[in-house]
């Protein structure tokens, strides 16, 4: 798990670095302008790192499934070779998704100077500005969302279905609580990231509310990656003791 957390931390740093510097410049200069080339450069990097986040959350769910459901075989199943291959596959799938989005946007769009009501080039907004009609746009959005968003979510649901079935068979309440607490941090991270990300992605295909989209975008592009270190570190007993000492001093 710590191997995947280290990769997730690196990806989150890159994920934030893709959008936040431009947002800070916009706030400082009171300008929301981004060039067409800059937008098409920012978007694939943003998609790659965001998709890696999605696939890593799925891989981490599978990691917990093996740890809880097959603890005696964990070291054999999750060897270093498999771990590296899972990370490599995550990056390759994310690269494919990025190229698909880029190709579709370039094929469908006919704009050079437009105003985007967000602090970064969100693919859903660029698709909305396409020259094609709304039906084509919605079909593309739902298809890409089902393939690249629905598949990781299905993997997470399946892993937790198996995990829950195994935990409910544990006879002692203490054992069940310990097993459930292992999954708590990951579930919080999944709900924050997927809840806001997929919410923006699918809602933009139905109705467009710039203010709501911007708030939700901040949650999954800035807040969630910043909270991940705190969410996952709270399982560590040393961090918990340090937090208790800090809270006692604050009171």
**For 110-127, what is the mean pLDDT?**
62
Distance CA 231, CA 81 (A): 27
Whether residue 241 is contained in a domain is answered as no
Q: Which CATH number covers residue 115?
A: 1.20.1070.10
| pTM tops 0.85, yes or no | no
Per-residue pLDDT at 226: 78
Instruction: Give the ranges where 132-172 is alpha helix by DSSP (H).
Output: 134-144, 151-168
Non-local (6+) Cβ contacts of 115 within 8 A are 32
DSSP secondary structure string for all residues of 98-118: HHHHHHHHHHH---SS---SS
Q: Is the pLDDT of residue 177 over 60?
A: yes
> Ranked by mean pLDDT, which of 110-119, 158-167, 201-210, 224-233 comes out on top?
158-167
251, part of any domain: no
Q: 179: number of CA atoms within 13 Å, CB side? A: 23
Q: Is 69 helix (H, G, I), strand (E, B) or coil?
A: helix
242 falls within a domain = no
Return the structure tokens found at 60: 């981490």
Domain membership of residue 139 (yes or no) is yes
Domain count, the chain: 1
Please check whether residue 197 lies inside any domain of the structure.
Answer: yes
């Amino acid at each position: 798990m710590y191997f995947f957390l280290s990769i997730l931390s690196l990806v989150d740093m890159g994920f934030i670095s893709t959008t936040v510097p431009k947002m800070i410049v916009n706030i400082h200069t009171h300008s929301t302008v981004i060039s067409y080339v800059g937008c098409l450069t920012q978007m694939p990097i943003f998609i790659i790192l965001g998709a890696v986040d999605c696939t890593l959350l799925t891989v981490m769910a599978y990691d917990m499934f093996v740890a809880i459901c097959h603890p005696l075989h964990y070291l054999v199943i999750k060897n270093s070779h498999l771990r590296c291959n899972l990370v490599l596959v995550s990056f390759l799938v994310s690269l494919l998704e990025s190229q698909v989005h880029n190709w579709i946007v370039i094929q469908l769009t006919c704009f050079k100077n437009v105003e985007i009501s967000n602090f970064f080039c969100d693919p859903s907004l660029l698709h909305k500005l396409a020259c094609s009609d709304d039906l084509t746009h919605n079909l593309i959005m739902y298809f890409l969302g089902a393939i690249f968003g629905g598949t990781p979510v299905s993997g997470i649901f399946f892993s937790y279905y198996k995990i829950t079935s195994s935990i409910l068979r544990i006879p002692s309440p203490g054992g069940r609580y310990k097993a459930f607490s292992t999954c708590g941090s990951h579930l919080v991270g999944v709900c924050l990231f997927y809840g806001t990300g997929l919410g923006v992605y699918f809602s933009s295909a139905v109705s467009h509310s710039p203010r709501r989209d911007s708030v939700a975008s901040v949650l999954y592009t800035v807040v969630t990656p910043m909270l991940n270190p705190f969410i996952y570190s709270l399982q560590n007993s040393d961090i918990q003791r340090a937090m208790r000492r800090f809270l006692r001093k604050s009171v």
